[in-house]
């Protein structure tokens, strides 16, 4: 069966060149990077080479890169580690409401131990307002954390403006750049970041290696104690194989960034412009400008997201959905809620994220199969038949008593 | 292991009895679009037997499979037999449902019972 992978915000397919670089470290180069013997030195050199490759991708110095196991760990270390390092006189943290859960839950954990958290709202496109950041900063604010781009709706935040405000107010600034590093240009100096999270699994590297950039001079309290690795800031035997993969992936991403960017944005814009011509009543979530080159998110009215993705799955097209049913927690995505997508419409959200491997031919296939699936589900949707008969939509705002409203309609 | 059982997927891919009955004897509806699941059942009753059952459903894979299974179980049954179909027995017939789908998506029997209630109310009114 044909397979089209459009869930690259979840994970990317490893680049063959990355894999072949990694394999020797699963076989003959198995030394511990902290060992004093020659085998250990091979591993140590490999880790330091990867550090340089990652540093070069984001315009940092080698000794500002700290390896972790995943993006979530980087975000935990950044938010908790900074809060704990600067808590002598200050106790306030600011995060945007559409951060990844690893930032939001880290903040929540801090709030349970005496820190105060401000959650910034976003506008209907998902943008954080620099003005809101300015207003939220207090004399005891330690850190502002705002993601570079949102994985779900693709919004690229105005980080340069936000970080400028933080600098002026002497507040540290962290950005979760997990979905932008290796995909769009990321330069820590230009962005004005004091800390920045990235993960290799987002740009064709393996799972199991990620990094936190910590600007020289910024203090941090380790969240894993017990070792000298990573300059004492992150204990644990280095996952040399994955780190080597992350380094090579960073190098390739930097060299091929422009080419991949153009390819993905072409395919993204094809879906965004062609799908609404084939399907009525679909609405894009997130901005048109300042959007990730690989992000497409639509709400398809009158049907539910999980049904769509299961049918797409049956056709070998792998996507995801922000609908409540499609999540294991049975809650609509916090991002769609934050941009105030109508609750019923949010149930019909479908997310497609592209990679450098996708082709025009694959997009042709998606564009021909998807409308048939929508039709099939709409043909069995009571919401759609109600709309066809009455020209009206069921109002489905929070707290709407749908049953009551329907009985009322019947009596008319 | 896939998220849904083979039987759930089979009913989801090929749902039975999808549609509306124009001159239905009873209509029952549960859920709402906010929750992400809504089912409308239509029944036709002849000599105390559900001679036809159709449904329309907005919802996830489980909701669609449940509706399809309920329609299949209920069709041809007497009203008393149909009232014995429960959400739990439907889930069992489907080879089980994921735990987080048991509550909100497994409402098919409720919708069917509501349609029967509606039929009884209507026929009572006629007399």
Average pLDDT over residues A304-333: 83
Q: Chain A interface, mutation test: which of B37, B60, B63, B71, most A Cβ atoms within 10 Å?
A: B60
Burial pattern A157-191, b for ≥16 Cβ within 10 A else e, equals bbbeebbbbbeeeebbbbbbbbbbbbbbebebeeb
Chain A residue at shortest CA distance from B58: A381
| List of chain A residues whose C-beta atoms are within 8 Å of the C-beta of residue B40 | 382
pLDDT one-digit tens code per residue, A327-366: 666 678 899 999 999 888 888 999 999 999 999 999 999 9
- Which stretches does DSSP call E strand in B23-74? 26-32, 37-46, 49-58
Q: Is residue B126 part of a domain?
A: no
Distance CA A203, CA A194 (A): 22
- Please report the ipTM that was assigned to this predicted complex: 0.91
| List of chain A residues whose C-beta atoms are within 8 Å of the C-beta of residue B105 | 325
pLDDT, residue B43, reads 97
Classify domain A16-254 by CATH number: 3.40.640.10
pLDDT, residue B116, reads 96
3-class SS at A60?
coil
pLDDT one-digit tens code per residue, B62-98: 999 999 999 999 999 999 999 999 989 999 999 999 8
pLDDT-based confidence at residue B37 (cuts at 50, 70, 90):
confident
As for how many domains chain B has, the answer is 1
Query: Active site includes B104?
Result: yes
Cβ(A24)–Cβ(A338) below 8 Å: no
CB-based contact (8 Å) between B39 and chain A? yes
pLDDT, residue A410, reads 33
Task: Enumerate residues 320 to 339 of chain A having a beta carbon within 8 A of any beta carbon in chain B.
Answer: 323-326, 328-330, 332
Cβ(B63)–Cβ(B57) below 8 Å: yes
Inter-chain residue contact A326 with B15, CB threshold 8 Å: no
Q: Is the pLDDT of residue A257 over 90?
A: yes
- Measure in Å the smallest separation between the Cα of A326 and chain B Cα atoms: 7
Instruction: Give kind and range of the element (H or E) at residue A273.
Output: helix A240-278
For chain B, give the percent of residues with pLDDT over 70: 95
Q: At the topology level of CATH, where does A257-411 sit?
A: 3.90.1150
Chain A residue at shortest CA distance from B59: A304
Residue among A185, A186, A182, A211 nearest A198 (CA) = A211
CB-based contact (8 Å) between B32 and chain A? yes
A90: left (phi over 0), alpha (psi -120 to 50) or beta: beta
Q: What is the largest CA-CA distance in chain B?
A: 54
What range defines the domain where residue B76 resides?
6-121
| List of chain A residues whose C-beta atoms are within 8 Å of the C-beta of residue B64 | 307, 380
Q: Is residue B127 part of a domain?
A: no
Residue scoring higher pLDDT (A5 or A320): A5
| Domain positions in chain A | 16-254, 257-411
Burial pattern A22-60, b for ≥16 Cβ within 10 A else e, equals beebeeebebebeeeeeebebbbebbebbbbbbbebbeb
Cβ(A210)–Cβ(A67) below 8 Å: yes
Chain B residue at shortest CA distance from A397: B34
The alpha-carbon radius of gyration of chain B (Å, integer) is: 14
Domain of B43, CATH number, reads: 3.90.1010.10
pLDDT, residue A412, reads 30
Nearest by CB to A396, from B4, B15, B34: name it.
Answer: B34
pLDDT one-digit tens code per residue, A155-193: 999 999 999 999 999 999 999 999 999 999 999 999 999
Q: What is the DSSP string of A353-399?
A: E--TT--HHHHHHHHHHHHHHHHHHHHT-HHHHHHHHHS------TT
pLDDT, residue A99, reads 97
3-class SS at A268?
helix
Distance CA A18, CA A360 (A): 25
Q: Is the pLDDT of residue A324 over 80?
A: no
């Amino acid at each position: 069966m044909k397979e089209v992978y459009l869930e690259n915000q979840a994970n990317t397919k490893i680049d063959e060149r990355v894999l072949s670089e990694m394999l020797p470290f699963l076989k003959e180069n198995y030394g511990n990077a902290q060992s004093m013997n020659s085998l250990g030195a091979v591993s140590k050199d490999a880790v330091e080479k990867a550090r340089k490759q990652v540093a070069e991708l984001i315009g940092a110095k080698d000794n500002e890169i700290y390896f972790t196991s995943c993006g979530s760990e980087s975000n935990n270390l950044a938010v908790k580690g900074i809060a704990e390092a600067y808590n002598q006189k200050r106790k306030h943290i600011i995060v945007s409401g559409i951060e990844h859960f690893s930032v939001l839950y880290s903040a929540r954990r801090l709030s349970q131990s005496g820190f105060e958290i401000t959650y910034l709202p976003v506008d209907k496109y998902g943008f954080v307002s620099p003005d809101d950041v300015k207003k939220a900063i207090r004399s005891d604010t330690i850190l502002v954390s705002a993601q570079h781009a949102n994985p779900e709706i693709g919004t690229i935040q105005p980080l340069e403006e936000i970080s400028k405000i933080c600098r002026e107010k002497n507040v540290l600034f962290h950005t979760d750049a997990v979905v932008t590093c290796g995909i769009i240009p990321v330069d820590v100096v230009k962005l004005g970041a004091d800390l920045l999270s990235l993960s290799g699994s987002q740009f064709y590297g393996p799972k199991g290696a990620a990094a936190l950039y910590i600007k020289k001079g910024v203090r941090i309290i380790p969240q894993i104690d017990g070792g000298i690795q990573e300059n004492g800031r992150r204990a644990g035997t280095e996952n040399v194989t994955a780190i080597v993969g992350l380094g090579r992936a960073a190098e390739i991403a930097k060299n091929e960034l422009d080419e991949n960017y153009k390819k993905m944005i072409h395919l993204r814009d094809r879906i965004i412009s062609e799908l609404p011509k084939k399907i009525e009543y679909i609405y894009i979530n997130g901005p048109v400008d300042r959007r990730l080159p690989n992000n497409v998110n639509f709400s398809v009215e009158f049907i539910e997201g999980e049904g769509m993705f299961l049918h797409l799955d049956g056709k070998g097209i792998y996507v995801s959905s922000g609908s409540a049913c499609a999540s294991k927690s049975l809650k609509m995505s916090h991002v769609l809620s934050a941009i105030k997508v109508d609750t019923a419409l949010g149930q019909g959200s479908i997310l497609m994220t592209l990679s450098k491997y996708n082709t025009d031919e694959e997009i042709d296939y998606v564009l021909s199969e998807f409308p048939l699936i929508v039709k099939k589900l709409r043909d069995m949707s009571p919401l759609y038949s109600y709309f066809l008969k009455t020209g009206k939509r069921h109002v489905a705002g929070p707290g709407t008593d749908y049953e009551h409203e329907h009985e009322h309609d019947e009596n008319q | 292991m896939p998220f849904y059982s083979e039987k759930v997927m089979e009913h989801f891919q090929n749902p039975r009895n999808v549609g509306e009955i124009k001159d239905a004897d009873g209509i029952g509806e549960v859920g709402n679009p906010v929750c992400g699941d809504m089912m409308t059942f239509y029944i036709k009753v002849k000599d105390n037997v559900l001679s036809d059952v159709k449904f329309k459903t907005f919802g996830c894979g489980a909701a669609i499979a449940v509706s399809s299974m309920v329609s299949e179980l209920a069709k041809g049954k007497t009203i008393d037999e149909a009232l014995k179909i429960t959400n739990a027995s439907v889930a069992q017939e489907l080879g089980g449902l994921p735990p987080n789908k048991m509550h909100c998506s497994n409402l098919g029997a409720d919708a069917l019972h509501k349609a029967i209630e509606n039929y009884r109310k209507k026929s009572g009114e006629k007399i």
